[in-house]
Amino acid sequence: MTKRWSISIALILAACGEPGPAPLADAGALPDAPPPATCDAPGATVGAACTIAAECSDGCFCNGEEACVEGRCEAGTAPCVDAHECTDDVCVEAARSCVFGPDAERCQDDDACNGREVCSADLGCLPAPALLDCSDGDPCTVDTCDPATGCGSTTVLRDADADGAVDARCGGDDCNDALDSIGPAREEICDNFIDDDCDGLRDYAQASCVATNDTCATARALPGSGSYSGTTAGLAADGTSSCSELGTDAFYAFRIDAPRRVRVAVWTPVDATVSLRLRTDCADPDPARDVRCANNGGAGAIVVDEPALAAGEYVIRVATGVPVAFGVELSITAPGTPVRGDRCDAELVDITASTVIAGDFALYDDDLTTTCGEAGALPEVVHRLHLDRPMDVVLEASLGMTPIVYRGVTLEVRRTCDDASTSLGCAMPDAQQDPLFEDQGVSRLRYAPLAAGDYFVVIERRQSYPTYELRATITEPVPRLEGDACGTAVDITNRTATLEPRRLVGSGSHGTRFEPDYLSNCGGVGTLFYPDAVFRFEVETTSDVMLDVDWIGDNAHLFVQADCGSVASELLCLETPRAYGPPLLRSVPPGDYFVIARAGGYHQPIHARATLLPPTPRPENDRCQDALEIGDGASRMDTLYGFADDVEACWAGRDALYRLTLDRESAVTALVESLDPFNPVTMGLLESDCATAITDCVPRALDRVLPPGTYFLAVQGYQETDFRLDVFVDPI
């Protein structure tokens, strides 16, 4: 108080304009004392008389800074107390600092399934960064979690549509686990081309399905273009036709409000007749009332085509020599326009969910060429597949109503309808029994998953069989195990990884093996019998890549793709294991690449490694696009040193490639000889695609008369060696 008064008198005198006396020193005052250097007596100053706060300090940090309040020392507030209940508040006196230790146990909410909550020293309790992972690694099980106990000790087999039946792919009896309307407990719907009750019989093949369209009055109304199933079983003979009189018949009705091109196709395994009439003339016994009539002469397809049918209501009569199930395809389009699905620019059937589509090739023309189909003018039909999100897709195409073992149709999926280079896979049935499926004569493509977007499904006829059936199974993506798909590829960049195909999922017993997913340029058809393992490597700067992969067996394949699953992006495709060592990819540009290995069986582990090496330039004629021209003949000393294996002209081996361009028919003689007697070479002649072999491989001499065109000559050897090549071309 004294000091405070001294200051007030001085200010008053200054205000009056009189010079005040010089201030007097406070003889009783001492310099402020520093706080104690050590904390020897915490709280010892509390209650003591004081004039300033410094007089109250006990030298301790952890009990806070004491204060002088109205002449008495008061205790301070402990500095090491935060607002978070999950932290241990610790004060370190020696360091004069605070430590807040998080204790996650105080954050737990007694729900094990939402993961283990965490404690942040700055923010307090926070939600778990991830839910509890109860996956057992088997995509065929539904993993459960109890909030009190966590992951269950038992699993429930996959039932994605929750209809109470286990997915057939997981050992159950639900033939379509994507739709709860299909399953062993459902009733068969008789006219949807679907086996609704999963008993292996569909539509009118089921005894419970009885047709009711026995007369003109009870004709089944068809809403428009589409495929419909039917039967004459249990029906009487009621109508007449102008081209053939047969037994039992069934009737269908449709209406058009303006002139339209109408095509009707019916396929049966027995003698049948199809006639078209106005509905008002349906019951008239006069055969002349037919607008159109056709007979199949014993079996197969019947087509009735009316290019400009007048507006009205019409009836289709299908009569068969013996009661039988059949299919009807109706196409209604504007006059002069193609049949739906006949060309890329025609109206297309959209596939957006699991379905079955059946039809008759008699309605279609040959407009496209598939990448794996048979040669010749073969008709095909196009459907559009639309996915608004990634889905697992299985497409199965067969002859449908006329199944023949080892015969069937060609099936291809493309990104662009009229561009074969955008193919995502092409398949034909193979004469070998597929160990993953019980049926034969089925062309099958599988994508797990297929990205969102529009795709085009091309189905092409083979030989003379008239009908087709496409079964599309579209389901939510099933989690794939490590190495079983592009999305779970295992990294082998400068490291070795091992996968065991028998461990991963396939059809039949769940959780036992990899799925066979991917086709290749050299794999051909029938290669989806054996599972494939998927690896990946990353190239940051242009490098050579040495692939060391175990892939053994009679049906072994190894291929490298820049766009996993895209045959068009393939860098390498080999059909049999290398005899001379690991294949080498030269000067690979930066990017991610996928190595797909398929062993010829289920039980061999596959070891793989991609070793990145400094880049080396490829020899000038190491690839088809860089082949040396020899159309005028040649005499060369060449080598296989530094060459890679690019084509399968003869066998698996290093190859040097030569282009033979002939502008007219010529006699071509080629002689080859290795300069190392212990490392022989051989020759093979290829078509202009540099892939299709024209001749068997020959060890020394090739002599052929060739028509005008472009050909490729491949010289191959197991080992690096030098050789002499002489080519003689004599125009005829």
Residues 583 and 700 in one domain: no
Alpha-carbon distance of 430 to 428, in angstroms, equals: 6
208-212, 482-486, 577-581: least confident range: 577-581
Verify that 608 and 492 share a domain, yes or no.
yes
Mean pLDDT, residues 662-669: 93
Same domain, 471 and 354: yes
Tell me if 90 is assigned to some domain: no
CA torsion sign for 626, 630, 636, 639 is positive
Query: Which of residues 695 and 612 earns the better pLDDT score?
Result: 612
DSSP 167: B
CA 688 to chain centroid: 32
Lowest mean pLDDT among 88-102, 292-306, 413-427: 292-306
Residues 496 and 430 in one domain: no
What is the reported pLDDT for 501? Answer: 61
Residue 527 has pLDDT above 80, yes or no: no
d(CA 39, CA 122): 29
User: In the chain, what percentage of residues exceed pLDDT 70?
Assistant: 83
With 0.75 as the threshold, say if the pTM is over it. Answer: no
Residues 706-732 as b or e (16 or more Cβ within 10 Å = b): beeebbbbbbbbbbebebebebebeee
For residue 42, tell me if it sits in a domain: no
Q: Do 560 and 635 sit in the same domain of this protein?
A: no
Output the pLDDT for position 592. Answer: 96
Q: Is the pLDDT of residue 130 over 60?
A: yes
- Is 321 in the same domain as 356? no
Q: Which residue has the higher pLDDT, 339 or 70?
A: 70
Residue 587 lies in a domain: yes
Higher per-residue confidence, 649 vs 516: 649
- pLDDT of amino acid 439: 47
Domain boundary among 558, 590, 613: 613
> CB burial class (10 A; 0-12, 13-18, 19+) of residue 686?
buried
List C-alpha distances in Å: 125 to 99, 109, 110, 475, 663: 17, 10, 14, 39, 81
Q: 522 pLDDT exceeds 70?
A: no
Closest CA to 713 of 292, 522, 723: 723
| Domain range for 514 | 486-613
- Select the highest-mean-pLDDT range: 440-444, 473-477, 564-568: 473-477
Phi, psi of 500 (to 5 degrees): -115, 105
Q: pLDDT (tens digit, 9 = 90+) per residue, 473-508?
A: 898 887 777 888 888 899 999 999 988 765 444 332
Residues 656, 715 within the same domain: yes
The string of pLDDT tens digits covering residues 24-77 is 344 344 444 555 667 888 989 999 999 999 999 999 999 999 999 999 999 999
Q: How does strand 156-157 pair with strand 220-221?
A: unpaired
Q: Judge if 534 and 444 occupy the same domain.
A: no
Which pLDDT does position 432 carry in this prediction? 39
469 with 503, same domain?
A: no
Does residue 97 or residue 508 have the better pLDDT?
A: 97
In degrees, rounded to 5, the angle at the alpha carbon of residue 422 between the alpha carbons of residues 418 and 423 is 95
234-264 pLDDT per residue, tens: 999 988 888 877 789 999 999 999 999 998 9
Mark whether 457 and 497 lie in a shared domain. Answer: no
End position of a domain, from candidates 417, 446, 475: 475
- Tell me the pLDDT tens digit for each residue of 290-313: 999 988 777 777 888 888 899 999
Residue 597 belongs to some domain of the structure: yes
* 8 Å CB contact between 420 and 521: no
- What average pLDDT is seen over the chain? 81
Indicate the pLDDT class of residue 16, thresholds 50, 70 and 90: very low
67 assigned to some structural domain: no
In a domain, 106, yes or no: no
Q: From CA 88, how far away is CA 220, in angstroms rounded?
A: 79
Is the Cβ–Cβ distance between 493 and 613 less than 8 Å?
A: no
Q: Each residue of 610-659: pLDDT tens digit?
A: 999 998 777 888 888 889 999 999 999 888 877 877 777 676 678 899 99
Q: Is the pLDDT of residue 223 over 60?
A: yes
Mark whether 460 and 534 lie in a shared domain.
no
Q: List alpha helices for 451-577, DSSP H.
A: none
**Number of domains present in the structure of the chain:** 4
Other residues' Cβ atoms within 10 Å of the Cβ of residue 326: 23
Q: What's the length of the chain?
A: 732
Please check whether residues 467 and 533 belong to one and the same domain: no
Q: Would residue 122 count as lying in a domain?
A: no
Residue 451: CATH number of its domain: 2.60.120.380
With respect to residue 422, please indicate whether it lies within any of the assigned structural domains: yes
First and final CA of the chain: distance in angstroms?
Answer: 131
Predicted local confidence at residue 37, as pLDDT: 62
Query: Of 444, 475, 506, at which residue does a domain stop?
Result: 475
